[in-house]
Amino acid sequence: MRALSEYELLNAWEQGQCQTPPVRALILLASSCPEFSLDFITGLPIGKRDSFLLTLREITFGHLVLGLTRCPECSESLELDFDVDDLRSRSESKSGSENSISLSGYDLEIRPFNTYDLQSIVRSKDVSSARNELLRCCILRVQYQGNDISPDQLPSAVIEAVEAKLEEIDPQADVRLALSCPSCSYKWEEPFDIVSFFWTEIDSWARHILREVQALAGKYGWSESDILSLSPIRRRIYLEMAVQ
C-alpha cells in the first residue's frame, strides 16, 4: 500500500461519486494497492479489506479520528475523538478447518463475507432479504446427517450459530464503539463503518481542495495540475496573498 497524491485522491473521489459503498472501497484500495489485482481485493474478507482501509485512512488524514453522534436516549450531540488503532481488532481472520460448524446433525463449511457479497445486496428490498442473501453467499457446503441440503432448510438455531461463527472468524468486519452519554449516562454500542466514514472525509476534503483550485485558477490563471503540484503550505500562502 502507498499514500495517494492529492491528484490521485481527487480522481478516486470523482470515480466514486455515483457508486455504491462497496465499489468506493474497491476504488480506493485499487488506487493505493497496485500490487494487488482487483479480483484479489474484491475477494478479501470484509475485515481484512477494512483493515487496509484503516491503514489508508491513517496515511491520508492521520491517526486521529474525529466525529459526531447523537445519544439515542436524550438526543444530546456527542463529539467522538479516538485513534485509528482503537478501531483495529486484536484478532486475525481465521480460515481452514476453523471455518466449519457441526451442530445438531448439521455440518457446514462457511467463509467470511467479501465485497462481492456486499455489492450483491445493495438493491435488496429489506434487511431480512439482504441477511438471507449474505448467508447464502457465505455457506459453501451444508449437510444434514451426511446428506447435502439447501441452506434454506437450516433451522434458526443453526443460522444463529453461523452468524456467531462469522463474527468469530472475521472480527474486524463488525466494529462497534462503546459510547456513554455525559448528559444522561446512557451507554450503548454504535457500529463504525470505515467505508462511509472515510468517504465522508474524502468528500469534504475534495470539495475544499476544488474551492482552493478555483480561487487560485481565477486569480493567477494556473491549471488544476499546476495548483495540485504545489505543497499545501505554498498553496495556502498563495491563497492568503490572493485576498490581500
Predicted confidence band of residue 98 (pLDDT cuts 50, 70, 90): low
- Least confident range of 26-40, 66-80, 84-98: 84-98
- Rounded to 5 degrees, φ, ψ at 186 are -70, 140
Residue 97 has pLDDT above 80, yes or no: no
Q: What residue spans define the domains of the chain? A: 6-90+176-242, 96-169
> b vs e for 170-193, b when ≥16 Cβ sit within 10 Å of the residue's Cβ?
bbbbebeeeeebeeeeeeeeeebe
**8 Å CB contact between 227 and 217:** yes
User: How confident is the model over 180-216, as pLDDT tens digits?
Assistant: 999 999 999 999 999 999 999 999 999 999 999 999 9
pTM, to two decimals? 0.90
E strand intervals along 7-161: 64-70, 77-83, 100-103, 106-110, 139-144, 147-148
Smallest CA-to-CA distance from 115 within 62, 61, 53 is with 53
Helix (H, G, I), strand (E, B) or coil at 201: helix
